Structure 1
């Protein structure tokens, strides 16, 4: 995983985990890799992973079974989606709209690009959810 300079690493790891949950790769009650396993996989300090897990616990996305490890919480996908949607609408969308306006990109052009992107990256059979 390559990290960006403009966001804390623990938040980028949280986004990575959240994406696994939203894509259905880590369903409810799925055991999440241990702190050490995740640190090795992502080549980061275990303290950074622990901070990520604490953040996700506060969001009720994962939970700890004492002595066993961390697991994906019930309704984790809905919680991740709600959190990411709120963050996107408040932070990213205004910047996105500004760029569309300044670059003269129409909604029709954008729709075509979006459809191509989803087809290329998630397959034509991927259903849309609201």
Structure 2
């Protein structure tokens, strides 16, 4: 995983975990990789992964079953989607909208590009 300097690593890992949950790679009530396992896989410090997991537990995306491990919460996919939508709206859309205004584009100008993207990326 390549990390950007514009966002804390633990939040980028949170996005990665949420993507796994939203795309159903990790399902509700399913055990997820242990802290050390994911840290090795992503080549980061285990403390960073622990911080990510704690953050996602606060968002009711994950839950800890003491002595067993971390699991995707029953409403984890819904909560992960809500979290990612909120992050997108707050962090990415303002820059995107600034570019649209600068380029004198309207939302209707994007519709055909969006449809084409969805067709080629189901």
Which residue in 1 is equivalent to 2:94?
Answer: 94
* Rounded Cα–Cα distance in structure 2 between residues aligned with 1:117 and 1:4: 24
- Cα offsets for 1:3-56 (capped at 9, x unmatched): 000000000000000011111111101111000110011000101000000000
Which residue in 2 is equivalent to 1:66?
Answer: 66
* Rounded Cα–Cα distance in structure 1 between residues aligned with 2:50 and 2:65: 15
Deviation at 1:107, TM superposition (A): 2.7
Which residue in 1 is equivalent to 2:104?
Answer: 104
CA RMSD of aligned residues (A): 1.3
Q: Which has the higher contact order (CA 8 A, sep 6+)?
A: 2
Which residue in 2 is equivalent to 1:51?
Answer: 51
Deviation at 1:104, TM superposition (A): 2.6
* Rounded Cα–Cα distance in structure 2 between residues aligned with 1:36 and 1:119: 38
- Structure 2 unaligned residues grouped into runs of 5+: none
Give the total of aligned pairs: 122
Equivalent pair of 2:28/2:74 in contact (CA under 8 Å): yes
